[in-house]
């Protein structure tokens, strides 16, 4: 629930025993979550531990843009920490783990959902602008919006994110020569699909992405959602499944790609990442793979794993977006890191 007066997000609401006060968590893009209370009669939020709260020195806003079919798409734009109007900055477009999910107006200071290695505040502090698009298929915008990618995964959703990137470029914020795409789970699939469709991106980070939709549908646990998003089984409409499978178009990929996968996951099999890793390596496209070795099916990352993922991502971006020609790339190293919860 969003407090429209100040764009603060309200969650985890509970009522006291006398039904006179409510307790809840209050946060915003730049204000960390705070346990708060208010009377029922007059809503006036009061943080319980105000003296300990952190406020980020970041500029962020909700933006909207028209997509290819006129549908209005919403997202969050985070500006670099040292942002100066008129200057252009590298842009990271980050795709959420949905499809039925959304970037919300939550505190930007931590890692997203505290389970995967993406922190807008960290990247903003390194000079990146960040676009968090809620493309069609996302939650929070009504059932019709959520179902808009049924039988069309990798179609309208891809066009929405490209329209968002172009909008940020037109705003004068993003450098069109320094675009990055990042995605986790479904977002990882869409990030891979994006680098098949265009070579605009200087670097890609693919986390737990579906690379081969046919093999994923037969090897991953709980994979039935693909039939809904593609409208059939693969044997009933093999052409669509093949067209929307990134591995079938690997010859189009030129973008340096960092792959993040869990070694023990049955929901997001490591084989998906390996297919892309070996294909890109054979073609001479820069690629590395970081394996999280002790994270289970959901790949809910430990603090150590999140730190490792962030460090590798930042190093990857520095390597391919840096103006320094002396930075070298080694293509034949698969990164592994043993982690314990």
Over the stretch 74-132, which tens digit does the pLDDT of each residue have? 999 999 999 999 999 999 999 999 899 999 999 988 886 667 899 999 999 999 999 99
> Is the pLDDT at 329 greater than 60, yes or no?
no
Put residue 267 in one of left, alpha, beta given phi > 0 → left and psi -120 to 50 → alpha: alpha
Of 54-63, 166-175, 267-276, 330-339, the least confident: 330-339
Do 80 and 10 share a domain, yes or no? no
Do 140 and 36 share a domain, yes or no? no
Q: How many domains does the chain have?
A: 2
Do 178 and 273 share a domain, yes or no? yes
Rounded to the nearest 5°, which phi and psi values hold at 78? -105, 130
CATH code for the domain of 235? 3.40.50.1820
Alpha carbon of 228 to those of 99, 101, 163, 223: distances in Å? 12, 16, 25, 10
Do 33 and 104 share a domain, yes or no? no
Which residue is it, tokens 């593609």? 230
Do 280 and 188 share a domain, yes or no? yes
What residue numbers bound the domain in which 24 lies?
Answer: 2-52
Do 124 and 47 share a domain, yes or no? no
What pLDDT is attached to residue 297? Answer: 61
Do 193 and 283 share a domain, yes or no? yes
Do 194 and 273 share a domain, yes or no? yes
Binned at pLDDT 50, 70 and 90, residue 40 comes out as confident
Do 74 and 93 share a domain, yes or no? yes
């Amino acid at each position: 629930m969003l407090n429209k007066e100040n764009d603060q997000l309200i969650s985890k609401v509970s009522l006291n025993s006398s039904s006179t006060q409510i307790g809840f968590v209050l946060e915003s893009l730049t204000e960390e979550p705070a346990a708060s209370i208010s009377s029922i009669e007059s809503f006036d939020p009061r943080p319980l531990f105000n003296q300990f709260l952190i406020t980020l020195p970041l500029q962020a806003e909700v933006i909207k843009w028209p997509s290819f079919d006129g549908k209005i798409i919403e997202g969050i734009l985070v500006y670099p920490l040292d942002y100066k109007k008129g200057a252009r900055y590298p842009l990271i477009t980050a795709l959420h783990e949905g499809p039925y999910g959304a970037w919300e107006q939550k505190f930007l200071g931590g890692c997203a959902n505290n389970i995967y290695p993406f922190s807008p505040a960290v990247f903003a502090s390194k000079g990146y602008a960040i676009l968090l698009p809620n493309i069609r298929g996302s939650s929070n915008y009504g059932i019709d919006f959520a179902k808009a990618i049924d039988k069309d995964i990798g179609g309208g959703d891809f066009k929405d994110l490209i329209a968002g990137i172009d909008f940020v470029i037109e705003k004068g914020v993003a450098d069109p020569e320094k675009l990055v795409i990042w995605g986790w789970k479904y977002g990882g699939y869409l990030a891979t699909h994006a680098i098949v469709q265009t070579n605009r991106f200087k670097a890609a980070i693919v986390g737990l992405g579906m690379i081969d939709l046919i093999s994923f549908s037969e090897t991953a646990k709980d994979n039935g959602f693909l039939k809904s998003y593609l409208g059939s089984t693969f044997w009933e409409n093999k052409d669509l499944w093949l067209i929307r499978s990134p591995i079938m178009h690997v010859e189009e990929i030129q973008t340096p790609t960092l792959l993040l996968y869990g070694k023990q996951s049955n929901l997001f099999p490591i084989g998906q990442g390996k297919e892309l890793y070996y294909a890109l390596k054979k073609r001479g496209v820069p690629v590395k793979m970081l394996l999280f070795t002790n994270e289970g099916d959901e790949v809910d990352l430990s603090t150590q794993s999140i730190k490792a993922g962030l460090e590798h991502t930042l190093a990857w971006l520095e390597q391919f977006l840096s103006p320094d020609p002396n930075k070298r790339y080694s293509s034949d190293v698969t990164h592994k890191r043993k982690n314990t919860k």
